[in-house]
C-alpha cells in the first residue's frame, strides 16, 4: 500500500531508492495488476515447446486435434489440454464439423509474436507466410 508516503511526521523506515524520481515515474506508468497478469498469461502460453509447436503447425492453416497430435508428436489428450488453454485465452478458436474439431489461430498477433520471437532468438525466419495474409515474401525454405 504505502511506501514513499506523505506523512513527514513519521520517519520513513526505508527511503530505500537510489533514483526516487525514476522509481516514482516508473511506478506511475506501471499497468494495472490485471493487465500485467493478462499479458503474462498470453506470453506464458507461448512459453512452452508443445504449445509453440501446436501454434507453428497452425500457421499452415487449420487442423484437427488428431492431426495436430501427429504433427507435434504428442498424445491427443495432451494436445486437447493444450488447446483448451489456448482457446481460453482466445489464441486459437474451434470450428466443429461433425465429430472432428478444427482449430485455427484466432488473430494475427500470434503470428507476429512467433516471428518476432524467432527473430530475437537469432533464427532468421523459418516460418511460412500467413495463408493469404499481409506478410511480405521474406522467407526462404529451410535447408535440411
Report the distance separating Cα 99 and Cα 101, nearest Å: 7
Q: How far is the CB of 96 from a copy of itself (least distance, A)?
A: 13
Q: How far is CA 46 from CA 12, 17, 123, 135, in A?
A: 42, 34, 17, 21
- 63-64: strand order across its sheet: 63-64, 100-105, 92-97
Does 98 bind DNA (CB under 7 A)? Our answer is yes
36 binds, among DNA, a copy of itself, none (CB under 5 to 8 A by kind): a copy of itself
* Burial class of residue 82 in the structure, from the number of CB atoms within 10 Å of its CB (0-12 exposed, 13-18 middle, 19+ buried): buried
User: What's the CA gap between 119 and 121, in Å, rounded?
Assistant: 5
Verify binding: residue 84, DNA, rule CB under 7 A: yes
Figure out which of the listed residues 35, 81, 84, 88 binds a copy of itself, where binding follows CB under 8 A: 35
Residue found under cell 526462404: 140
Phi/psi at 31 (5° precision): -60, 160
Residue 74's binding partner out of a copy of itself, DNA, none, with CB under 5 to 8 Å set by partner kind? DNA
Q: Choose among DNA, a copy of itself, none what residue 12 binds, the Cβ cut-off being 5 to 8 Å by kind.
A: none
Kindly identify the residues of this chain, within the stretch 56-95, that bind a copy of itself according to CB under 8 A: 56-57, 60-61, 63-64, 66-67, 70-73
| Sites of contact with DNA (CB under 7 A) | 16, 18, 44, 48-51, 64-66, 74-78, 80-85, 94, 98-101
| Sites of contact with a copy of itself (CB under 8 A) | 3-4, 16-19, 22-23, 25-31, 33, 35-49, 51-53, 56-57, 60-61, 63-64, 66-67, 70-73, 100, 107, 109-110, 112-114, 116-121, 123, 126-128, 142, 144
Amino acid at each position: 500500500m504505502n511506501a514513499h508516503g506523505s506523512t513527514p511526521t513519521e520517519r520513513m523506515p526505508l527511503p530505500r531508492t537510489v533514483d526516487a524520481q525514476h522509481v516514482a515515474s516508473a511506478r506511475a506508468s506501471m499497468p494495472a495488476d490485471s493487465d500485467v497478469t493478462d499479458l503474462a498469461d498470453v506470453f506464458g502460453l507461448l512459453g512452452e515447446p508443445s504449445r509453440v509447436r501446436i501454434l507453428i503447425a497452425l500457421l499452415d492453416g487449420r487442423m484437427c486435434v488428431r492431426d495436430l497430435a501427429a504433427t507435434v508428436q504428442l498424445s491427443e489428450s495432451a494436445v486437447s489440454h493444450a488447446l483448451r488453454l489456448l482457446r481460453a485465452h482466445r489464441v486459437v478458436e474451434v470450428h466443429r464439423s461433425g465429430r472432428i474439431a478444427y482449430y485455427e489461430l484466432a488473430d494475427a498477433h500470434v503470428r507476429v509474436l512467433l516471428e518476432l520471437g524467432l527473430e530475437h532468438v537469432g533464427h532468421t525466419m523459418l516460418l511460412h507466410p500467413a495463408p493469404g495474409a499481409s506478410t511480405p515474401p521474406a522467407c526462404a525454405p529451410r535447408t535440411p
